[in-house]
Amino acid sequence: MDKRPESLEPQAQPASPASTAADAPTNASRRRLLLGLGVGGGAAALGALVATTVGANVQPKWPDTTSERQPFFGNHQAGIVTPQPAAALVVAFDVLAKDKAALERLFRLLTARADFLTKGGRAPEDDPRMPPMDSGVLGPNIYPDNLTMTVSVGASIFDQRFGLAEHKPKHLGEMPQFPNDQLDADLCHGDLLLQICSNTAETNIHALRDIVKHTPDLLSVRWKMDGFLPPHTLRKMGTETVRNLLGFKDGSANIDAQNDQLMNQLVWVSDQSAEPSWTVGGSYQVVRVVRNLVEQWDRTPLREQENIIGRDKANGAPLGHKNEHDVPDFADDPHGKKIPMDAHIRLANPRTEATKENLILRRGYNYSRGITKSGQFDMGLLFVAYQADLMKGFVTVQTRLNGEPLEEYIKPIGGGYFFALPGVSKDGDFLGQGLLTA
Ligand SMILES: C=CC1=C(C)c2cc3[nH]c(cc4nc(cc5[nH]c(cc1n2)c(C)c5CCC(=O)O)C(CCC(=O)O)=C4C)c(C)c3C=C
Ligand SMILES: [Fe+2]
């Protein structure tokens, strides 16, 4: 159930190159080929593409998604339950603001820029004698492109600098080193985290450069990771589960981000919690940069890979089941004959009454960033998860996963614990207002 963003207006479609006589047999089979569909498959994907007839040939065209827009205002920030677009940028900053007044200026600035960039509009007119105000990466008409900018704070913002110590979310602290971790200090923690997601890497880069340009005395980039997924047009408008770089479908059993009741229970801090009142509507965010040792994984037998995860690699079904969304009954498999006791999905979610409170909303992306010093691929999972209670959520799940067989093929190297601020309900208010006025 993927809610697509509102589209601003229908855009003119660029024409596809004209086809030649060498084109395949019939129009119908050719179109299927171009759409990447099997016989009879993918009605949803078909709907995602616009097909027009040019002479005798049917030409598929990619829909223009640049005008897709996510609302900025709301009780919660966008980018958490929002369906995942293709590109992500996670950027951690050190805050340079010296006092609470400067911190407020930073939060007001972030609010204003995110409001503008997610709406889109004309770039400011430039005085040619001055550096341009906008990078120009999107041209003079800045388009929204499904952009969300989600602002979170790290534990360090509650140190002595701003007098906020007594308002720290109860469980927010520095992410510890788990047993399999090899954390790189240059890829960890931060005072503030910006999660930027949109349809393209260019839109994310444009947004990041806009923020950096506007905050020279307020923010300093600490670390940054880029993530990617196939665009929704290739995954049937978001209804098809994407694969991670181990080749497995990732997200099959994720909790349903469109289920408001479930989100209120598991993701959003509520006024029933023991948290400071300003946190209501926010969420604990965990980021983990988890390298996948893919050369080693690719030399591991398929059966072993499937036992490590607990699912069929091709269709994503839990082992011993037929379909991806079949629910494994672990009580019926007490000795792990179908799904090994130490399979990733079994440890991550034992599916008992008691472990229902440990469910988390995963919103990860794949990443790839060159090679390591020893010539191995540096790629993996930019794991992002949201939960109302950090201890019941990520910490409990990760503790159950400690020592799992998958650890032989993964190496967590960075990330941090953050708290995603509540949303901005109306014009004039700003992100972090509740915290600064608490
Ligand atoms: C602590 C939380 C988790 C980390 C870290 C994590 C890393 C990680 N996961 C995969 C691959 C898969 N994970 C899958 C399911 C799954 N993973 C977690 C938690 C963490 N994973 C949960 C809660 C679940 C859902 C379990 C369930 O409810 O059945 C799957 C199966 C498909 C799916 O349901 O999403 C895969 C595949 C990798 C490669 C990885 C680190 C690199
Ligand atoms: Fe997982």
Average pLDDT, 10 consecutive residues per value, the chain (438 residues): 36 29 31 30 39 56 88 98 97 98 98 98 93 96 97 98 98 98 98 98 98 98 97 80 96 97 98 96 98 98 98 98 97 98 98 98 98 97 98 98 98 98 97 98
Element (H, E) at 434: helix 433-436
Give me the pLDDT at residue 2, please.
36
User: Does the model's ipTM exceed the 0.90 cut?
Assistant: yes
Q: What residue owns the CA closest to ligand 1's atom 7?
A: 383
Q: How many C-beta neighbours within 10 Å does residue 227 have?
A: 25
d(CA 50, CA 54): 13
The DSSP output letter for 138 is T
49 found inside a domain: no
Amino acid type, 349: N
Question: Virtual CA dihedral for 234, 236, 238, 242, nearest 10 degrees?
Answer: -60
Closest CA to 78 of 381, 281, 229: 281
Residue 186 C-alpha from the chain's centroid? 21
354 found inside a domain: yes
pTM above 0.80, yes or no: yes
The number of domains in the chain is: 1
Q: How many C-beta neighbours within 10 Å does residue 354 have?
A: 7
**Tokens 């994407």 appear where?**
242
283 found inside a domain: yes
- Between the CA of 252 and the centroid of ligand 1 the distance, in Å, is 9
225 found inside a domain: yes
- Give 69-82 as a 3 state SS string: ECCCCCCECCCCCC
Tokens of 342: 């130490």
69 found inside a domain: no
179 found inside a domain: yes
Are the beta carbons of 383 and 285 closer than 8 angstroms? Answer: no
d(CA 302, CA 304): 5
* CB of 349 closer than 6 angstroms to any ligand 1 atom: yes
23 found inside a domain: no
Bridge-based pairing state of the strands 121-122 and 57-61: unpaired
Give me the pLDDT at residue 60, please.
63
Look up the domain containing 248 and give its range: 87-437
Are the beta carbons of 358 and 392 closer than 8 angstroms? Answer: yes
* CB of 380 closer than 6 angstroms to any ligand 1 atom: yes
Residues linked to residue 60 through DSSP beta bridges, in sequence order: 51
CA angle 84, 387, 156 (to 5 degrees): 100
* CB of 339 closer than 6 angstroms to any ligand 1 atom: no
pLDDT tens-digit readout, 272-316: 999 999 999 999 999 999 999 999 999 999 999 999 999 999 999
d(CA 158, CA 170): 12
- Between the CA of 52 and the centroid of ligand 2 the distance, in Å, is 41
27 found inside a domain: no
pLDDT tens-digit readout, 391-413: 999 999 999 999 999 999 999 99
- Between the CA of 303 and the centroid of ligand 1 the distance, in Å, is 18
Residue 77 C-alpha from the chain's centroid? 13
* CB of 366 closer than 6 angstroms to any ligand 1 atom: no
**Tokens 């110590």 appear where?**
165
**Tokens 């200090």 appear where?**
185
Tokens of 358: 């440990």
